[in-house]
Amino acid sequence: MPVSPLRLNLEPGRPAIAEQAVEARRSQTLVTICHAEIERMILDADLEMGSRVNELVLAARLGISRGPVREACRSLVEAGLLETHANRGFFVRKLTLREVSDLYDLRAGLMWLAGKLAAQRVTPEQLNRLRSMVDAMDTACAEGDTARFQSLNADFHGALVTATDNRRLQDVYNGLAKELRLFRRRGLVSRGAMESSNTEHHAIISALESRDAARAASIMENHILQGKARFLNAVGDELDVAHSSDW
């Protein structure tokens, strides 16, 4: 009489497949939780550029072993948010001025494509949401509310990319946006820079409304390059005190 697979798995010395699957899933979940928490700490500036990730402290705080924390750190190295130093551990990545410039150029190219696709695919509902965010940024400019402007600005660019209906483009863009926040989170945005940036936002909305793909692509690329120019003009040689308005 054939022995069922279930009975085979329950024989002494042979762990059940179900138990292995549960343990694997638990490990993956813990790594995901650690990844999200460390990423939050980096992007919220709880961990400053160049600071070390204390694996033991984080593991204790989350009530888990050190293994998932280390695995999450490795994945964040691949994502460009952490770097590893031999025999010293994981550190929040420091960007050089050249790296920042390169990121802006790459982002400009992505937004050129995003403008072209969004003009063809944006829905009326998405347009209304984009327009409302630009109007809200006008209010933030008038009130000198830098934090509100920056938050809306990040949402605006994310919504523009979502309107492309291109998942791969969204994934690449989101990765770049996180890298840029390594230095932008410390920025102080002037009212003049906010006003210039939002004037460009209004032009983007106009191009999308007219479904002019070529114009939308050009304006969105130029918007990022203008943001790069504002950043370089404000920061000079001091990368640590960036003043960019273009999130």
Residue 230 confidence (pLDDT): 83
pTM above 0.85, yes or no: no
Q: Does residue 42 form part of some domain?
A: yes
Average pLDDT value for the chain: 83
246 in a domain, yes or no? no
| SS3 label, residue 52 | strand
pLDDT of residue 5: 46
Locate 102 and state its tokens: 């390169």
Domain-located, residue 247:
no
> Same structural domain for residues 103 and 221?
yes
User: Is residue 205 helix, strand or coil?
Assistant: helix
Query: What is the SS3 string spanning 53-96?
Result: CCHHHHHHHHCCCHHHHHHHHHHHHHCCCEEEECCCEEEECCCC
My answer on whether 80 and 105 are in the same domain is no
> Which residue range is the domain that position 187 belongs to?
97-241
User: What is the Cα–Cα distance from 228 to 234, expressed in whole angstroms?
Assistant: 10
Residue 142 sits in the same domain as residue 40: no
More confident residue, 45 or 86: 86
Domain count, the chain: 2
Q: pLDDT digits over 75-111, tens only?
A: 999 888 899 998 899 999 887 888 888 999 999 999 9
Residues 109, 49: one domain? no
Give the separation between CA 196 and CA 227, rounded to whole angstroms: 9
CATH number of 10's domain: 1.10.10.10
Taking the C-alpha atoms of residue 232 and residue 237, their distance in angstroms, rounded to an integer, is 8
Domain boundary among 64, 92, 120: 92
Q: Is residue 72 located within the same domain as residue 103?
A: no
The span from the CA of 117 to the CA of 217, in Å, is: 8
The predicted-structure confidence for 9-43, as pLDDT tens digits, reads as follows 445 555 555 455 444 455 568 889 898 899 888 87
CATH number at residue 216: 1.20.120.530
pLDDT surpasses 80 at 167: yes
pLDDT for res 27: 52
pLDDT digits (tens, 9 = 90+) for 202-243: 999 999 999 999 999 999 999 999 988 888 777 654 444 433
